[in-house]
Every structure is written in C-alpha cells, then in structure tokens.
Structure 1
Amino acid sequence: LKVKATHSDGYASTEAASLKIVILPPLRITPWAYIVSALLIVGVVSFSLYAVQRRERNKFRIRQIEEDAKKREELSQMKFRFFTNVSHELRTPLTLIISPMESMMKEITDEKLHGKLQLMYRNAQRLLNLVNQLLDFRKNEMAGLHLTLSEGDIVAYVRSICASFLMLSEKKHVHLTFFSAMESLNMSFDEDKIGKVVMNLLSNAFKFTPDGGRVDVALEMSKEMSGRLLIKVSDTGVGIRDEDKERIFERFYQVEQEEPEHQSTGSGIGLSLVRDFVTLHEGTVRVVDNVGSGSVFLIELPVKHVHVSPSKPAPLAEEVEEHEELLPDMEEEPLPDDLPDDMEEDNEDEKEKPLALIVDDNEDLVAFMKDSLSLYFRIQSASNGREAWQKIPELMPDVIVSDVMMPEMDGNELCRWVKTDKRTSDIPMILLTARQAVEDKVEGLTIGADDYVTKPFNVEILILRMRKLIDLSKKRKAKSLIDPEPSEIAITSLDEKLVENAIKYVEANIGRCDLSVEELSRGLGMSRVHLYKKLLQITGKTPIEFIRVIRLKRAAQMLRESQQNVSEIAYQLGFNNPKYFSKYFKDEFGVLPSVYQEREGK
C-alpha cells in the first residue's frame, strides 16, 4: 500500500510512503484443505462401497440360508407326504385283511383255525394302530393337533380300555389290575386322544414286562394340587435308566436295552404323541422308578367341564374302532342273522334288491365289496368319479358308496356333482376313505355326503348304514311335492284353481310349439315372476317344466292308448324335433318312448 501526502496549499510530497500487506488465502482453499477433502471423499466412497458390498453379501448369505432352509423344509414335507400317502394306502389293504377276517371268525367253528385267525386279526389291528400313529404324527407336524372335548365318565372309559387288554394279559401271563379311588368322575376330555394315551402306555408296559409280572392302572385325585386327576400306569418290567428318562418323550428317541428280547421294535413316536396329547389337555406326563423294578408313568389332567351334550365314550378296544360310529338315531347292534328275510319283508312291493354303485379305483376292494354286499344289493361299480358320473343318471342307484382318493375325479367332487344335480340329489351317498381326520369328515359332510366311513370298516355296520340311508331316502320321496297330471291332480284347495286353469290352458294349446311362459302367465292373468314362484311353490316345477311335464304325460297316455308312432305324437304335442322329445321322455320316465310303447301299449 503506497500513500502520498498533499498539503492544503497544494504542495505534495515527492516520495510516497509504502506499507506491505500480505493477504493469506482461506483455509478451505489451501493445498492441505484440498488434500484432506480428497482423502475424505476417497474414504467415504470406499466405506460406502464396502458397506454396499457387505450388505449385499449379508443379503446373499441370508437368502442362501433361507433357500437352504426352504429346501430342507420341502424335503422334510416330501418325506412326511410320502409317509402319509403310504399310511393312507395301507388302510385299503388293511380293510381287505380285517373285514374278511371278521367274517371268517364268525363263520368258522374249528377252534384251532379260529385261534390262528384271532392271531392274524390282532396283528392286523396292531398294524392299523401303527398306521394311525403315523397319521397323527403327520397331522401334528402340519397343522397341529386339536381337541374335540366331550363330557363323560373318565373312570368308566379307562376301565373299558383296560378290559380290552385282558386277553393279552392272559396270553403273556401278566397280571393286570385296575383301581380307582372314586367310583365315577365326569369331566371333559378328548375320548380319542386319552384313549390313545392309555393304550400306548399299556402296550409299552406289556411289551417290556416279563411273564409273571404285573401291570397296574390307578386313578385318583392329586394330593399335591387340587382339581387335578392323576392316572398311574405302572409295571414290573425292565425299567428305564435315569439318563433315558429325560429324553424318552422326544420324537424318534428309543431306549436301548441290553437284553435282546427287550430290544425296542417301535417307531419312537408313541410316547411323543402321548406327551403331545396330554399337553393339549393342559396336563403333564412324567416317568419315575417303580418300587422294586419297572417304571411308573404319571399323567396329571385338570378336571374341567365344558357345555356340550354329554356323550358316552366308546372304548378304544381292538373290537371297537372309530369307523363303527353309527348314524344318528341308529342303535349299535349286530347284524341280524335273518337279514335277507327282513329285506324281503321290507321290499315286498319290489321284487328286486336295491341297486348300489361302488366307486373305487382298487379292484380288490371292489371285488370284496361285491362279494360282501351281493346278498343284499344289486352291485354296479366304477373305477373313478368321472366314470361313475357317466353311469349314475342312467342307473339311478339307490345308494352310492365312493372312495375319496381317486384319479381323474375324486369322491368329494363326485359327491358335489351328485348333490347339485336335480336328478340325483336325492340319492344317498357314503364316502369311504382312508382319511380319518375330523377336518376331512367335515369337508365331506359339508359337500353333501350322507355318511363318512373310514377304512378299515366293518361290513355289517356298512350294510346297516346303507339300508338305513335307503329307508330314509324312500321316506323323503314319499313326502315329495305335488306331481301335476293332465286330467286329474291332487292339490291343496287354496291353489286348486290356479293349477286347474294352468293345466286347461296348456291342454288347449298343447299342439303349439310356440307356447311360451309369457303367454301362459298372460292367460292366467298374472306376471311371469309371480307365476314362476307360485308354480314352483305348489308343484316344485318351473313354468317351462310344468308345460313339458303336461306334454310328456299326455304323450305317455297316447303311447299307451293310440296306435300312432313316436314322431307323430311328438309333432302333435308341440315338439319340433322327435329327438328332443325322446330325450325329455327318457329323463321323465326312465325309458325311451318306443320302449315305453312296446311295454305299456295295448
């Protein structure tokens, strides 16, 4: 900075004074600032790239873990589905083993042969119990188990289960005792699951108790906690080591026994299901050492009550199975020896036996059903639902017994078709299946099935059910709606005038092919909608069906009385095409008009 001074008189200095001022640049534009900024930018970019890469690696790792878990789950589900399908498929062969065996045991009088059949029967029932365990295990894995509570006497129920082991007790020379501190105890419990719990524990007790031992079952109220029932199942068998007690209720765990004769041959899911069933009841199960030798299984259940209609639980013995539950209002009784005579008395007016249609893709089961039911029914068969549906409108059977799991069209779909079609909706239908879950039964009955029977089934019970359903169907048909006749009709006095006028109008214009519902409603002095509702209410037929029925029944009269051929009668009664006339005539009377004329004509 240079400065010169000037005097007031105008004199100026010759030399300028100077001052050196140095202006430093701002910190942000210094080289160091540029270097630091560049380093920060490089660091941020590097860290961002690293973070993105790390996040992507984590995502990929998580996705890979999820895919591996999904693949393991799919593999596990495939295994479960395989075992479930195999279990379902086993029930059909078991049906063909157990059902004929039951019939043979009733017919054979040779004690030696009867004993062999009993041995076979017991082992077939044992195999059935194993199959049921697999199905319960699968159900628990997929959707969890659910309780079906009912009010009943649990003391009598457990006593009946113990009674079913008396034969095994005598055979193995093992003393079985039952003790209850109270005479009876009403509480809510799931009959099926508690039955399986007690049967499983008793089966294990007999399996590991040597000859001369004893198995005791005791019921008493818990002294430690009020309002809880204590069920004890004790034995004098080989016992359980302390290290095994902690894991004995784990799935697939099996205790290794030193003695070869006591080596476990089970599946390792029985006690697991016991724990699951007891836990569902909000109870506990544990095992302790028995005094002397053996083990004691202790089950504690809370004593609760639910507001349900009381039902007497059926014992889960070898002779009593779930598939033997009868229709409502139908007593459980053995099939009478004079069943053919009863059927002849019930069907005096019809010389032929009722027609039953058996639908199943298993040829052996169909052959067995034909052999078992042929004494009481005429039998027709179909291998799947589609084939059955093609036969049903033509055969119009008195009852249909169908399997559920079939190719092309399953039993549920066939039942839906049968029950939604006006021609076949009154035919009783029984679904016969290996599926025993409550959900499957509800689905089948919701669709419209009249009954649901699980395999293996008792043939006598099935015959009783079929006869009962046929009887109920006949009673319903006896109360059917009014059937209009061309000349005389039985109707209520309130609607007599309307139907008489409708019949007269149709008869007066019966030869016109262009007779319409609109014209009929105008001729009767009411709207088409009102006529539709009124005729449907009185006769059960729509106006167009009403007109067609009058024509068809007039045609039947003419076929019986006149010498005219089918085509002449068809054109005379307002049908444009004899082909359609023959179709409608067959739908109404079940035969072609030419056959009807040959059979009924004078």
Structure 2
Amino acid sequence: MKTKILLVDDEVDLEALFRKRFRPQIRTGVYDFVFVRDGLEALRVLEQQPDIDLVLSDINMPGMDGLTLLARLSEINPLVRTVMVTAYGDMDNIRLAMNRGAFDFITKPINFQDLEATIEKTRQHVHQLREAAQLKAIDAMKTRFFTNITHELRTPLSLILSPVDKLLEIDDIPTPYQHQLTMVRRNARQLLQLINQLLDIHKLEARQMDLVNEVGDLPGFVGQIVDLFRPSAAIKNLTLTYQPELPTGTYLFDAGKWEKILNNLLSNAIKFTATGGISVELYPTPVGAGLSVQDTGIGIPADQLPYIFDRFYQVNLTRTEAYEGTGIGLALVRELALRLGGTIQVESRVGGHAPGTDFVLEVPIQRVRDSVEPTTIPAPGLLIDPEHPTNDLATPTSRSDQLPLILVVEDHRELREFMVAELATTYRIRVAGNGQEGWLVAREELPDVVITDLLMPKLDGFALIERLKADPATDHIAVILLTARDEQSSRMQGLACGADEYLTKPFHLDELQLRLRNLLARQQNLRDQFCQPWARPGEDLTSGAVLPTKAGQFLSRFYQLVESRLDDSALSVEDMADQLAMNRKTLYRKVHTLTQLSPLDLIRQYRLRKAVDLLKLGNNVSETAYLVGFESPSYFIRVFRDFYQQTPLEYLRQ
C-alpha cells in the first residue's frame, strides 16, 4: 500500500536529497512524496489531497512555522500524523510540538535509517486509524439502515393499526367482523414486536435460502406482478408495458424469489422515474430466461454503478434525497439472483436525451412438458408508495375560520392522507410532504399546532422544530413529533429541540386527538391569561406578559415598544412590524393567535390600561389622553367608554 508523505521545509536542497535517497521506494510506489516550502502552502495541499498519510515538517520556517501548521492540521485532516524535523539543539520547540500532538520527531542532520523506521511506524499507525475510521463509517451506515427500516416498517403498521383501532370502537360492529379485526390488530402488534427485536440485534446476518421450485406459467406469473404495479405507475402518469417473448408453457421456477426480485426492480423504476415509462421484457436465453426492467428515470452515475448492489449502499443522496431508503433492496436482488444460479447486470445513462436505467436478470429455468395449473401469488397489501405530490386536501367550505389550524408534515403519502381525513372533521388542516415545505407553510400560515414526522427528505423533524422555535414569528407554535424512532436518545433530542409532545408509530388515533385537544386547551388558557389585564382595570398590566413562555416574551417585547412611544399618536402597525422584524401579515397572525386581538386593538387596549394608571396618579382627562397617544380628549373619552362601559370621570369617582 502506497504511503503519501508531505515534506514541509524551506531548505531548497532537501527535496533533491529525499528524491535521491528514496528513489527505489518512489519508483516502486511504496512512497509518494509531495514537497512544499512553507506552512501556508502545506495547508492548501492538505485540503486538496486528503489521502496524505504523513507530514514531515520543519519547525522554523518563514511565514507559517511548523508549530502553527501542527495546530491547524487536526482541523483539515484528523487522521494525518506529523513528524517534526528540526535541529538537535531546538529541543524546547520539539518538546512543545510533542505536547501539541506531534507523533514523533527527528533531528538534523537526518539519519535516514532512523527516518525510514519513523516513517514505517507512523505509516502503520495511520493505517490503523484509517481502518478504524472505515469501521466507524460502516457502523454509522448500519445505524442509518436500522433507522430507515424502522421508519419504513412502522409507517405501514400505523396505517394498519390506526384504522383497525377506530373500527373496533364502533359499538354495533357485527361479531364476525369484530373477531377478524381483533385478529388483524393482534398480528400487527406481534409484527411490531418482531421489528423491535430485529432492531435490538443491530446487524444483519446472511442466511442460506433454499430453492423452492414450482411448476407454473412463468410469463403469466410475471404479468400478474407487473399488473400489480399499474396503479402506482398511473398515479405518476407513467406507461408500464410488458412484453413476454418467452414461449408460453409451464416452467420450473422459484416463484417467491422471482416475486421479490420483480418487486424491488419495479418499485425502484417507478420511484426514480418522473416522466416516460417502464418496460418489462421476458425473453429466452441459451441458459434459461432473461428479464429486463428498463425505465426513463434519472439514471445512475457511472462511478457509482459498481457499488449499487453492495449492502447498505445508497446512490448519491443529494440527487435522490426524496427517495432515501435502506440501501438493501438491490443487494437482496443480487443475492437472490446468485441463489437462483443467475446474474444481474445494470446499464444506466444520466442526462442527455435518453436518460434511464436497464436491469437485466438472466436465470436458468427448466421447461416442463406436462401442463399444470399456473402458479398464482397472493396480492400484496401495500406494494409501494411512489413519491407522487399530493395537493392539500380541501377543508369543507362550511367549516368556520375560527377552528384551530393544524399543519401535518409527513412524507408518507398514505399516512398523511389518513391523518388529514381523520382530523379534517374537527380542525382546519394544511399539509406538507417534507420538512422544508413544512417550514414554508408554517411561516406563511402560522398554524396553532404542527404535527411532524422525524425522518423526512430535505429537512428532518429536528431541524424543522429548531427553525420554528428560533424564529420569533413561529416560536409560539406547539409541535407534536410523530415518529417511528422510539429510542430514549431520540425522545430526549426531540423534547430538547422544543417539541411539546413525542408520539411513536404506530400511534393510536384517539391518543393523538387527545394530545391535540390538550395542547389547544393550554394555548387557550394562555390567551385568557394574556387578555385578563385588559378586561379588568385593577389587574397588573404585565401579569400575562411575564409568563415564562415564548408567547409571554413576545408580548413583553410588544408592550415595551408601545411603552417607548406611548404618547406618539403616529405609532402604526407597520412601525411595530419593523421593530419586531416581521411583515405586517405575520405580525397580525401572531398577535391574533396569542390574544385573539389585532395588533391595532392590542396597542389601543394597552394605551387604555396605561390611561387608568395615569388617571389614578392624578392626571386629568385631557392630560391623560395626550400622554397615552390619543389625538383628542373627546376621542379618548369615547374609546374609553366603549371599552370599560364608563367614562374616565365615572371610573375615577368609583
């Protein structure tokens, strides 16, 4: 294995000396030297060439010296190790360098036998560090796999358990149906338990799979599976064609493995194809049968094609972020193909006029003379969830605008639509398919509660909550985190980010409704506390605003701004919005959400409450009117009477 060494020294003849001394190792590829003259140039090289293993650096150099370079190395490449090269009499600096993290040192004049031993020792150490880093990356990849598989399995379980639970709550449900639904729920919960046990293992083990050959109509069998995907293709307006060129008849084949291979290939083809279509061909080959699944999707870059069948590998997440899965589907396809004694190949094109991917499976099969009933397959409960954009489900126009507004942020289309259908009878609903869309909708609509998934493309649930809580316009919004991750660390992180509730999938719909009701009731209690001082003149003016909440802090800031311009009749809502770094629309919605008042009404009521205090201090009505920003005493008297049901003088007499 080649060791790449960066020599940093301002002595001009040192490069020639090293090239001469290590000529055999350089020629055979054992060592690869890079030579620079100062620390700044070394930093640039290290940023451009992360595969450098070892830095040989002088201490005393013009510009950036070796000690400064040493301090910067850990920021650029934590795996690289530094050997200091300096004069024997510079022991103080050598000791300082070792204390700062240098791996070793050698002194000038250089003893090259000592240098070679030092390089070899450092090389072995760096090699061990890189192996450890690779193992850590593999562990992280496995952790991501288990996280993703949890999400992917728990979401369909939610779509099973929640409707079943709701059906079982019906009082007059027929007994036979009740027994069947109870059995469905029992088995779904058992499946959930098995998933949790699988996650406790924290690794996948390869298991020997037996061949289970069945006699049947292979072209017809493949056609049945293709037909199951036609609704999914139709949702995305994709064409799905099937051309069976294999002669009709009965064949000996493993139906289960063929089904799994086809399901993976077809689901991927639909998932990564936005326009055009998918074609499936089944044709004879010299050894048996060939299966081609070709799409007009986004394609796979050539440099990633060799790795797509590796377990846990995922193609370029920046390009396929919305489709992130477990990275195990194609690995399973390859293992199944090998177990069938066949091969799987892939060709792909990215960009241009004809992008797309073509998977070709070739498997030996045996034709059977005697005709028997074709093999049939049970219809799967849920094949795939193609990433098809879904518009907001319209809330019935008869619903009042005063109903609480709930934002549902969920990337799983069916679960999102299920939640909307259940909640729309009680609340106004907005939806978003990922965290980024959720953030934009929340900023625009200022919902009362956000229900968000955790694992989503573009912006996950943690990041969405952090943005909501960091923005003054949205920091008051309550958040329910609804996720498949049930480990304590995720729960603690979610609550630390600012989530008000943490529910795990599968969830019980009644529990979600109850938590929503409690959150909304809590918000209404806060509104009542904020509004109490305005209704009763004797109340402390700041009793609501000093509550230790984001809403209380915002209102305190609002009141401070009004107080600072209390006698200014020209104070406007636009002025307040500028001071609070919001636009007028956002300020209106936030103030109305917190107090059920408009910003203008809140300013006016604050002035009226301050007027009460000024009147108590002995100011007459005219003085008070001007001190609290009214342009005329007569207008002040009229507004005061409308709000307190008595004139200022009548109030003073009491």
* TM exceeding 0.5: no
Q: State the TM bucket, normalised to the shorter chain.
A: 0.3 to 0.5
Larger of the two Rg values belongs to structure: 1
TM-score (norm 1): 0.39
